[in-house]
Amino acid sequence: MSPDAVPGDDGKLRCPWAVSTDDYVAYHDSEWGRPLHGDDALYERLCLEAFQSGLSWITILRRREGFRKAFSGFGIAAVAAFTDADRDRLLADPGIIRNRAKIDASLANARELVGWEPGELDALIWSYAPDHATRPAPRHAADIPAVTPESTALAGELKRRGLRFVGPTTAYALMQACGLVDDHLADCFARRTPGRTSGSTQGRAPAGG
């Protein structure tokens, strides 16, 4: 597939990863790269990006409703109150990814976050958003990095504050998905920020979020 923006069935130019399935088209057009706020919403994305590690995003996307049901809508307070019986339930739930380490990290992170002030997670994550005006608009998938100084710093701060399964790559996927950066290609109809179109950075295309 061409690394440049490609037309979908409706003729609109999209990032090349987005045209392979209807699920990706809907996610790309309505969610990916759009600003997301709220502690519970961002906790959900932290969990899902961690579960995606080592897998394709479509695997997570198609199970997202199963995840939401299993994790009580990803309400931080609700998940923080999960018991050992809830953990066993999650490990047996075919509607999610039954990875013990990722489940344990999601539960531990909720128990850590429930002690934070309301809005603190949102404010912390968004404090690492780079200035859009200083970032070139990527023209090719190869222009999009997998890790940035900001994602490395964000991952380091989240880990310092007790959160698990939040490495620099996961942090950058979170930044892409939640609109801290706009990594839609320059010619993609969904791109929000015009940016500059010169220059590039080493890296790879996103795997859908």
Catalytically annotated residues: 27, 49, 57
Whole-angstrom distance, CA of residue 44 vs CA of residue 161: 18
Which contiguous run of DSSP H or E holds residue 6?
strand 6-7
- The DSSP secondary-structure symbol of 135 reads S
Tell me phi and psi for residue 165, to 5 degrees: 60, 40
- Alpha-helical segments (H) within the chain: 22-30, 39-52, 57-61, 64-70, 76-80, 84-91, 100-113, 120-126, 149-160, 168-177
Question: Do residues 62 and 52 make contact, with C-beta atoms less than 8 angstroms apart?
Answer: no
Q: Contact 144/8 with Cβ under 8 angstroms?
A: no
Q: Residue 13 — φ and ψ, nearest 5°?
A: -75, 130
In this structure, the strands spanning 13-14 and 6-7 are: antiparallel
What is the rounded distance in angstroms from the CA atom of residue 206 to the CA atom of residue 151? Answer: 14
Return the structure tokens found at 194. 């015009």
